[in-house]
Structure 1
Amino acid sequence: MNPIRNSAKAVIVRERALLLTKNKDPEGYFYLFPGGGQDPGEELAAAVVRECMEEIGCPVAVGELLHVREYIGKNHQFADWDADIHQVEFYFRCELLSADETAFAGSNPDSDQVGVEWVDIARLHEIRLFPETLSRFIQAGTQAPCYLGDVN
């Protein structure tokens, strides 16, 4: 099994819309919270800032830690190719610092990433958003627990 990986994610909400990366796989489009892996010697807040620049091309101000989610690949629908993955994800409330966010262009987007999109919170149930559990809490407007556990 691979070592456990930390990942820092941004939760960016504006006017009842959530900023997400848009990605494509053989099943179609899916959406993720901007963010990614923490580098050795890097604080989680610095990781989410760096990853947002890489994926959405905009600087962010990092706020409070909202959620911690584990993803243990062997327990989920992607086990065929993710069985040896164990990732701990830290979701931070973030705000965009850029005045011009109309031309989202990250410097190093993920290989499946095809864009960045504001998605109306009322439509979250219509898209494939991972983790789905977190999207349900956001759409319902209810406070999710800080520790979500191994959920998808």
Structure 2
Amino acid sequence: MNDVYIRNATSGLVVRDGHVLLGRGDWPQPGTYWLPGGGQEPGETLAACAEREVLEETGVRVTAGPMLLLREYIPANHSGDRVPPGSNSHRVDALFWCHIVEEPDVLGGTVPDDGQTGVEWVPLDKVGALRFIPAYVRDRLVHLVALGEAGGPGGYYAGDVP
């Protein structure tokens, strides 16, 4: 029997003046964008993980507000996803609305993701046309920003979605 690998991760949704803070890179294809985030460390809360990951990848210091989305992703359940033979992975992602505490003069984190080539503020109305991972989040980003701007709880569980 194969071991099951479960990975908890978080992302931070940081918005300023109608722009969303995004990482940019060459994975899985050149010109791909994503919300800053990554894996939870032992002993770390999900909110603290989001704060750390945003800082490491962008240089922007934030505090995590309400959780907007809890999403699972089990690659073996989605046709067309490349899953290594024998793998049995399962990812649980929490997306937090984040408030800016401090922003550097020049964007750029100290621990960028592998394949990350930059960080930028992208107009929210331009995100829908970007190559973005995961597409599920891109397609709901306007709604998620509205939830975050409302300031209270109101996130949702999405289940196992690509």
Q: TM-score, normalised by structure 1?
A: 0.86
Q: Which runs of 5+ in 1 are unaligned?
A: none
Q: Distance in 2 between matches of 1:99 and 1:115?
A: 16
Q: Distance in 1 between matches of 2:112 and 2:89?
A: 20
Deviation at 1:7, TM superposition (A): 0.3
2:43 alignment partner AA: G
Tell whether the 8 Å contact from 1:124 to 1:139 is kept in structure 2 after alignment.
Answer: no
Q: Distance in 2 between matches of 1:115 and 1:27?
A: 14
Which residue of structure 2 lines up, in the alignment, with residue 107 of structure 1?
A: 110
Q: Residue 123 of structure 1: SS of its match in structure 2?
A: helix
* 1:37 maps onto 2:39 in alignment: yes
Aligned ranges 1:2-151 → 2 under 5 Å? 2-25=4-27, 27-74=29-76, 75=78, 77-81=80-84, 84-100=88-104, 102-139=105-142, 146-151=156-161
Q: TM-score, normalised by structure 2?
A: 0.81
1:150 alignment partner AA: D
Larger Rg over CA atoms: 2
Greater Cα offset, 124-133 or 59-68 = 124-133
Deviation at 1:61, TM superposition (A): 1.1
Tell whether the 8 Å contact from 1:52 to 1:58 is kept in structure 2 after alignment.
Answer: yes
Greater Cα offset, 82-91 or 116-125 = 82-91
1:89 alignment partner AA: D
Q: Distance in 1 between matches of 2:29 and 2:54?
A: 25
Q: Distance in 2 between matches of 1:19 and 1:77?
A: 29
In structure 2, the CA distance between the partners of 1:103 and 1:78, relative to structure 1 (3 Å rule), is: farther
Q: Residue 79 of structure 1: SS of its match in structure 2?
A: coil
Q: Distance in 2 between matches of 1:132 and 1:35?
A: 15
1:151 alignment partner AA: V
Q: Distance in 1 between matches of 2:80 and 2:89?
A: 13
Greater Cα offset, 131-140 or 103-112 = 131-140
Q: Share of identical aligned residues, percent?
A: 34
Q: Distance in 2 between matches of 1:76 and 1:28?
A: 23
- Between Structure 1 and Structure 2, how many residues are aligned? 151
Residues 27-80 of structure 1 show CA distances to partners (whole Å, capped at 9, x for unaligned) of 321111111100111111111111112111121011001000111122254424
Tell whether the 8 Å contact from 2:12 to 2:37 is kept in structure 1 after alignment.
Answer: yes
Task: Give the root-mean-square deviation of aligned CA atoms.
Answer: 2.3
Q: Distance in 2 between matches of 1:64 and 1:98?
A: 19
